[in-house]
Structure 1
Amino acid sequence: MPDILLEVCVDSAAGLEAAVTGGADRIELCSALALGGLTPTPGLMQRAARMPVPVYAMIRPRAGDFIYSPVELEMMKVEIDAVRSAGLAGVVIGANRPDGRLDHAALKSLLTAAVGLGSTLHRSFDLAPDIAEAVDVAADVGFERILTSGGARTIAEGMAGIEDAFVAARGRVSIMPGAGVTLATIEGLLSRPEVTEVHSSCSRLADMADEKLLAFGFASPQARSTDAAMVAALKQRLRRD
């Protein structure tokens, strides 16, 4: 079987360099990973376009839920245009209805705006009450892949849901496990032929910021940084020699 592809999520120029140095096959580019990832800045997109691996940018205009107003959807389309202008490979998108189900109309509209770009459905998928229905929506609107932890906080807790997603996908859309993917949690996925790609932050807690920055709210004590050695170790474990 081919090696499992490793996607690493980053939110800084330093993270980009660490992911590439460690051997990431693809990068998910965000800002504010501590909030689950927001749309990266134009400057960071431009920097990412120089990397030697494909980069997909998060399209998420704010923290919180994934129930978007018409104004927010228009903002997201502007951000998609910025991704295209920067020369990145794809976008990472999600949208839900108030009942948690995926918003078919919103997703279709966003993917239409992203024509020509690769597409990943992010973990808004994990809020959907029916995994099979959500997979059907993702496949119908044309996503390449679904990033999922199986409807749980991490893959370790969501293996049953990931299995359900594989069954529902039937090869129509790739299922990419993510959230808590580490050397310690990956073992259960390595022997599965359906697993062709995984998603990980490969990060560690960043060095504590200056106390004044923390006190003013300019830095977070939970901030993390991408670790090139962790990327390399996970990449090595994903080889299927």
Structure 2
Amino acid sequence: MTYRLEVCVEDAAGIAAAASGGADRIELCSALGVGGLTPPASLIRAAAAAPLPVHLLCRPREGGFVYDAADRALVADDMRGAAEAGLAGVVIGASRADGTLDTDTLAAWVALARELGAARGSALSLTLHRAFDLVPDMAAALDDAIALGFDRVLTSGGAVKAVDGAAALAALVERSAGRIGILAGSGVSPATAPAILATGVRELHASCRRAVAQGDDTLVRFGFAAAQRMETDAGIVATLAQMVKSA
């Protein structure tokens, strides 16, 4: 029984902290304040040198997950960039207007991922992101994700925070029956991890960040920086990693 900790990071320092703290995998993104967006190509190239698997979040803009043709093309191009850089996987998701999974769009992206993996000789791991948490029927959506060929679903159990979606997470674990991974995310911390792990999930997704004062009032005054910033803390990563390994 394998347990894993995935840490979402948005800069080079975060990559280093996740690695040194003992994370099993990185989700690479930017703009975590709005749930994460696709990061710049320069950071993608830097992450490719990390000593642990890196999955790229392919989300072209903030807001919902109902995508038009232009949005869909951006996601596909980001997936190509992940494959070309040598990253281990991609994190994708799309919705219909009624909140159900856009299975047509997802099927096209899964097919693209298979093509990219075959071309480079190494499969792209596939995570369905938290568009899943907006669906009206989680059981049906899980069945769709399995049929589409996803390796895992990132979910809070439909709640704002995973600890509050514990009952739904447990139901998803039971329904998955080992056919797909359930990656619990949102509000995961050393304080909430025990209750989340008790649902039977084997993978946790966390930012492991702490608030740090900017320390330069001039930058704040000119609008070049916020009064405080969030940074990945290797100590929090290490604590969560140990909890996961001890589960």
Q: TM-score range by the shorter chain?
A: over 0.9
Show the 5 A alignment for 1:1-241.
Answer: 1-2=1-2, 4-115=3-114, 116=117, 117-191=124-198, 194-208=200-214, 210-211=216-217, 213-214=219-220, 217-221=223-227, 223-240=229-246
Aligned length: 239
Letter in 1 for 2:12: A
State the Cα distance separating 1:190 from its structure 2 match. Answer: 3.6
Partner of 2:120: none
Q: What is the alpha-carbon distance in structure 1 between the residues aligned to residue 73 and residue 49 of structure 2?
A: 28
1:191–1:154 CA distance, 2 compared to 1 (3 A): closer
Tell me if structure 2 keeps the 8 A contact 1:203–1:227: yes
1:202–1:99 CA distance, 2 compared to 1 (3 A): same
State the Cα distance separating 1:221 from its structure 2 match. Answer: 4.9
Letter in 1 for 2:150: F
Tell me if structure 1 keeps the 8 A contact 2:132–2:155: yes
Identity %: 47
Residue 90 of structure 2 aligns to a residue in which SS? Answer: strand
Residue 72 of structure 1 aligns to a residue in which SS? Answer: helix
Letter in 1 for 2:202: T
Q: What is the alpha-carbon distance in structure 1 between the residues aligned to residue 237 and residue 41 of structure 2?
A: 25
State the Cα distance separating 1:186 from its structure 2 match. Answer: 1.1
Q: What is the alpha-carbon distance in structure 2 between the residues aligned to residue 28 and residue 177 of structure 1?
A: 13
Q: What is the alpha-carbon distance in structure 2 between the residues aligned to residue 84 and residue 102 of structure 1?
A: 24
Per chain length, whose mean CA-contact separation is higher, i.e. which structure has more relative contact order (CA < 8 Å, sep 6+)? 1
Q: What is the alpha-carbon distance in structure 2 between the residues aligned to residue 63 and residue 180 of structure 1?
A: 19
Tell me if structure 1 keeps the 8 A contact 2:170–2:201: no
1:209–1:125 CA distance, 2 compared to 1 (3 A): farther
Letter in 1 for 2:184: P
C-alpha RMSD of matched pairs (Å): 1.7
